[in-house]
């Protein structure tokens, strides 16, 4: 793995872990960290041993947001470039061919909330806090928050959170569908690893294609989405994993998937 200044990466038993490691600034997302996040996503995607990725933050925060000190002097042109940089980094996780689980251990505000929303599944600590407080700084969310939040929690609730800049706790985030589950702080990573292992035990190609079908289909009408699904379903039958999985089912034994 390449060397990172603001992240730590590890991989074990088919599970890759990316940890944002700037605890002194609550893992704020400056330009260097955004660039490293995109590089880490690409590295995890290219590693054939990694089947599922867990994204988390060091110590008290997932990511407390973008780096305000860095943003303050920006011009309109530089601000737009910064927004695109964050969007590209987060899209790298959203478009990763493997499932990505956000283990949100603390503050996920602004850019941190936007990063979590780019992941496939969000698991939260009871101490986690979520929000898009950008209006309190005189700006809008810029890393995809105005687009992903309505898709996850509905237009009206998203507008309420974005317009007020309010921060919500993990229980409320779970109630509105922003997170999948809530865990005791000391149990969060074990729960994330358990879910990751459950996913990793399935056919890796099929899981990847499921992610592609959902991500592509959600952006189109139902008829077009079903057409996408049929095409992707058909692709499965060109794989050895499909033959092994169905043979194992008939023979009443565990499948030995090889990702082929």
Q: Which residues participate in catalysis according to the annotation? A: 114, 134
Residue 119 · residue 152 · CB < 8 Å:
no
Looking up tokens 């879910």 gives 195
Taking phi over 0 as left and psi of -120 to 50 as alpha, with beta for the rest, 259 belongs to left
CB atoms within 10 A of CB 168: 17
Residue 162 · residue 144 · CB < 8 Å:
no
Measured between alpha carbons, how far is 119 from 199 in angstroms, rounded to an integer? 15
Q: Is 142 helix (H, G, I), strand (E, B) or coil?
A: coil
Per-residue CA distances from 230 to 123, 205, 209 (Å)? 30, 16, 11
User: Where does residue 182 rank: exposed (0-12), middle (13-18), buried (19+ CB within 10 A)?
Assistant: buried
CB atoms within 10 A of CB 82: 20
CB atoms within 10 A of CB 68: 14
């Amino acid at each position: 793995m390449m060397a990172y200044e603001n992240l730590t990466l590890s991989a074990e038993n088919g599970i890759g872990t990316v940890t944002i490691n700037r605890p002194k600034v609550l893992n704020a997302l400056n330009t260097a960290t955004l660039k490293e996040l995109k590089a880490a996503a690409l590295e995890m995607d290219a590693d054939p041993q990694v089947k599922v990725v867990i994204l988390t933050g060091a110590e008290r925060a997932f990511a407390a947001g973008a780096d305000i000190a860095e943003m303050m002097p920006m011009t309109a042109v530089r601000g737009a470039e910064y927004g695109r940089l964050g969007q590209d980094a987060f899209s790298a996780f959203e478009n990763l061919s493997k499932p990505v689980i956000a283990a949100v251990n603390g503050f996920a505000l602004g850019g941190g909330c936007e990063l979590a929303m780019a992941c496939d599944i969000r698991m939260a600590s009871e101490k986690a806090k979520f929000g898009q407080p950008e209006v309190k700084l005189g700006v809008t969310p810029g890393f995809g928050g105005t687009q992903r939040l309505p898709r996850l929690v509905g237009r009206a609730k998203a507008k309420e959170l974005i317009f007020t800049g309010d921060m919500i706790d993990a229980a409320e985030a779970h109630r509105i569908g922003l997170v999948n589950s809530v865990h005791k702080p000391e149990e969060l990573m074990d729960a994330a690893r358990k879910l990751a292992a459950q996913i990793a035990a399935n056919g890796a190609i099929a899981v990847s294609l499921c992610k592609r079908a959902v991500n592509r289909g959600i952006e189109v009408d139902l008829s077009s989405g079903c057409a996408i699904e049929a095409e992707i379903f058909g692709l499965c039958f060109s794989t050895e994993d499909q033959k092994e999985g169905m043979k194992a089912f008939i023979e009443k034994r565990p499948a030995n998937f090889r990702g082929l």
